[in-house]
Amino acid sequence: MNRVLFLIPMLGFACAGMAQTTRYFIYEFLDSSPVETRYRRTYFLDEEPVRVESYASDRLRMVAYVTGTRNLDTLDAIIGYHDKHHYALEIEPHLENWRVEFKSYYEDGALKSHSYSDQQKQCFFQVWDQEGHAILSKGNGILTYADQKSKTQFFEVYQDSVLVESSSTHRRDTMYYLTDKLAYPARGRIRYQEWLRQNIYFHESRGEGYAYVEFVIDERGYPTDFRTLYSSVDGLGKAVIKALKQSPKWEPCQRKGKPVKSKFIFPIKVQDWKKAFGTSQ
């Protein structure tokens, strides 16, 4: 099964050469930052396997034990490939013989899952609910949990130690994070990116920066429900959303042969794109 993915991967900020080092990220461990942020990841490079701890606002979010590399960018790619939640990048790291043991945590610090991944498979040893009760029995079980802030209910189904269904419900609206077929622009990704370059209008003189825009591809293939998650430069998120609202139609995700809603994050880096931007007066 496939996962919802990021549209455009961006290179991280390398920081290696020490037995233990810390890297900060702009938003949700996506792109690294040269300055301190609320998202940080510590790498224990002298350990075997390499231990990697991720924190958000000083709360532990995950611990990964990675075998096969000590390169920070590759470690991040492997962890991102393994941690396939609804914003995952579905690109396998270009590295052979890697494997990772992974522990994830709820926001309150309680253990959520203990799993394993390599290039061939991903399996879950155990999954716990928010009260600390083990969910899996002989690899099978159903997990439901709520996000009180967004009033969203999450639903996960496990069979034979494999996650086979992942979705959420908010105000009777269901979003699918694990699909049989990924959504993609009807005219292809390359032509879609070219179209965006020609239709994002942002004044270059405002400086370099980042923006992360979340949106949904509905069952008909149209982008909708836009939201700026982060923008380091005023107006950049709005400029991206304005272009996305005029976006050509996509082919929607499919689940069991039916089109379903899926969610995406679009990361944009001004210094990479500004030559292609138009200017608005």
Residues 205 and 237: their CA atoms lie apart, in Å, by: 16
Q: In this structure, are residues 117 and 81 in contact, taking their beta carbons and an 8 Å threshold? A: yes
User: pLDDT digit string (tens) for 162-200?
Assistant: 999 999 998 888 999 888 888 888 888 778 877 877 788
Angle of helix 189-199 relative to helix 236-245, nearest 10 degrees?
120
Boundary of a domain, candidates 132, 148, 164: 132
What's the DSSP call for residue 206? G
Read off the pLDDT of each residue in 9-33 and give the average, rounded to a whole number: 69
Tell me: do 119 and 237 sit in the same domain.
Answer: no
Tell me: do 128 and 194 sit in the same domain.
Answer: no
Q: In this structure, are residues 175 and 263 in contact, taking their beta carbons and an 8 Å threshold? A: yes
Domain of 15 in residue numbering reads as: 2-132
Entry pTM: 0.78
User: pLDDT digit string (tens) for 204-234?
Assistant: 555 567 788 889 999 999 999 999 988 888 8
User: What pLDDT was estimated at residue 127?
Assistant: 97
Residue 91 has pLDDT above 80, yes or no: no
Q: How many domains does the chain have?
A: 2
Instruction: Give the number of other CB atoms < 10 A from CB of residue 132.
Output: 9
What's the DSSP call for residue 128? B
Domain containing 245 — which CATH number?
3.30.1150
ω before 267 within 30° of 0 (cis)? no
| N-term to C-term CA, the chain | 46
Strand partners, 100: 66, 117
Asked if the structure places residue 167 within a domain, the reply is no
Asked if the structure places residue 168 within a domain, the reply is no
Residue 202 has pLDDT above 60, yes or no: yes
Asked if the structure places residue 156 within a domain, the reply is no
Tell me: do 126 and 14 sit in the same domain.
Answer: yes
Asked if the structure places residue 171 within a domain, the reply is no
Which position has the higher pLDDT, 41 or 243?
A: 41
Residues 138 and 155: their CA atoms lie apart, in Å, by: 19
Residue 92 has pLDDT above 70, yes or no: no
Asked if the structure places residue 215 within a domain, the reply is yes
Read off the pLDDT of each residue in 112-127 and give the average, rounded to a whole number: 91
Read off the pLDDT of each residue in 2-20 and give the average, rounded to a whole number: 48
User: pLDDT digit string (tens) for 12-21?
Assistant: 344 444 589 9
Tell me: do 75 and 190 sit in the same domain.
Answer: no
User: What pLDDT was estimated at residue 184?
Assistant: 86
Tell me: do 84 and 188 sit in the same domain.
Answer: no
Read off the pLDDT of each residue in 122-138 and give the average, rounded to a whole number: 96
User: What pLDDT was estimated at residue 247?
Assistant: 85
Asked if the structure places residue 258 within a domain, the reply is yes
Boundary of a domain, candidates 132, 149, 174: 132
Q: Residue 237: helix, strand or coil by DSSP?
A: helix
Residue 143 has pLDDT above 80, yes or no: yes
Tell me: do 124 and 202 sit in the same domain.
Answer: no
Residue 56 has pLDDT above 70, yes or no: yes
Return the sign of the alpha-carbon dihedral for residues 22, 28, 32, 35.
negative
Residue 151 has pLDDT above 90, yes or no: no
Residue 154 has pLDDT above 90, yes or no: yes
Which token pair is 280? 């608005």
Residue 83 has pLDDT above 90, yes or no: no
Q: Residue 84: helix, strand or coil by DSSP?
A: coil
User: What pLDDT was estimated at residue 61?
Assistant: 95
Asked if the structure places residue 159 within a domain, the reply is no
